[in-house]
Structure 1
Amino acid sequence: MTTVGEPRHYKHFLPRIAELAVQGDCAHQGTIPEALAGKIIYAGFDRWPASEQRAVRALFRAAFEQAVTERPESADAEQWLCADLRLGADISEALQIWAAAPQPNATLQLAQSIQAANLRGLENDIPPFWEELPALHRPIFEAWLRRPASRANLEAAICGAGDDEWLIQDALKATPLQ
């Protein structure tokens, strides 16, 4: 849309672009979850028929729910969360889904997000996928990371973490949990 075509052309190819984004097989800018949400918004998402908006929102919610259950090297739950939020999802509802997700991958995703928040805190940096969201979302997310249940989940996961124990140990030492 910014170089070739119009929003209607983007909508035509959106199912395939979304498929590539969800599969994670194509690590290009257009398939990064937040960038994908941004393009959809740029294509006039708020003017799309309600049925199309519901379908896209359902796709992003399902992708977020799937990402939470995958290993961090396969999907980034925090990026899918931000993309879901950009399209109007409720952050409290999304965080409840993450908290209820099956272990152990949901805990590994949690550990990865805690590590990332720790690095952001040290550098006072806002990652690109949080920039376009309302300012109130990030403090809610970071408070969710700091909740006692996060520490409890991480501590409970250490025993069965195997090769991923380092990630959980690093998250437990991170500033957000101190």
Structure 2
Amino acid sequence: MKATPSLQDAINAVYSAFSDVRRPVTMDASPVKNRALIDKILMPMSLKKLTGDDLGYYFASAMTTIGDSRDFRYFLPRILDIATQEAGENGFQPWLIVHKLIYANWDLWPAEKRAAILDVFSSAFMSAAHRDPHEVPEAHEWLTGLMLLEENPEPYLAVWRRGDPMPSLLQFAATVNWYCPSPGDREGIGDFSEAIQHRILDWLNNPATRALLEEGSSRASEADEWNFQLALSKLDGLQAEDR
């Protein structure tokens, strides 16, 4: 995903916020790990030159069987940077980054570091929210990360409006389809706190959500209409269950 100016500013800010973390010279690792792949990312070089292929092996096992939380803090800006470009590739899913942050006790980190991380997630969501989901990662991937970090989803869910261009409406439909639980199964939102779950359900049950899906369905191409029809069908099932 090509960074918008605001997303690029957020990425630059997270590099700056973590610039005081020194590059690790070595990292402890399980003996079953590939030492050559670990040592490769420890070579003296600019952090920004590390690629997703370079960091993917480390990231998958960061802090569990490779390195500690301080090592993770050093690599985190580049991990976030790469994730905004290739979310899902090499394992850099936003939700998995969040689980790593929680494992690293990120809530105890300095406020400026936490704010810089949240700004990347927020800016990445906004960057994707109005772009064709066929061409960029779906916005809900970043929104899921924000909600797992206990951020209020309401300002993000309110970014879509009547009259938005079709790429925006397709992102909206994808978000409804992702979070709207199937009848009898609310597992899709079960990872969030109870307060977050209530906000998602309020949004799904809001008449404005249905109205925007209906508008999208009426304007969509034949190839894309199914996205809106599926979302409307899922809303029907949710509302019938709640009666």
* Alpha-carbon RMSD: 2.6
**Residue in 2 that maps onto 1:95:** 157
Go from structure 1 to structure 2 and tell me whether the alpha carbon gap of 1:19 and 1:106 turns closer, same or farther (over 3 Å shift): same
**Residue in 1 that maps onto 2:207:** 148
Go from structure 1 to structure 2 and tell me whether the alpha carbon gap of 1:68 and 1:131 turns closer, same or farther (over 3 Å shift): same
Q: Which moved more, 1:4-13 or 1:95-104?
A: 95-104
| SS of aligned partner of 1:121 | coil
How does the TM-score come out when normalised to structure 1? 0.82
Residue 9, structure 1, aligned to residue 68, structure 2: no
Q: Which moved more, 1:73-82 or 1:58-67?
A: 73-82
**Cα distance in 2, alignment partners of residues 45 and 101 from structure 1:** 39
| SS of aligned partner of 2:219 | coil
**Cα distance in 2, alignment partners of residues 4 and 104 from structure 1:** 44
Structure 2, unaligned runs of 5 or more? 1-62
2:125–2:139: 8 Å Cα contact kept in structure 1?
Answer: yes
Structure 1, unaligned runs of 5 or more? none
| 1:54 Cα offset (Å) | 1.0
**Cα distance in 1, alignment partners of residues 179 and 105 from structure 2:** 32
Q: Which moved more, 1:78-87 or 1:92-101?
A: 92-101
1:60–1:80: 8 Å Cα contact kept in structure 2?
Answer: yes
TM alignment of 1:1-178, pairs within 5 A = 1-24=63-86, 26-29=88-91, 31-73=92-134, 74-98=136-160, 102-118=164-180, 120-122=181-183, 124-127=185-188, 130-162=189-221, 163-174=223-234, 175-176=237-238
**Structure showing greater Rg:** 2
Identity across matched positions, percent = 29
| 1:101 Cα offset (Å) | 10
Residues 20-55 of structure 1, C-alpha deviations (whole Å, 9 max, x = no match): 2212355244x1111111111211211211111111
| SS of aligned partner of 1:143 | helix
Residues 124-161 of structure 1, C-alpha deviations (whole Å, 9 max, x = no match): 1413xx44421221232122022111122122223432
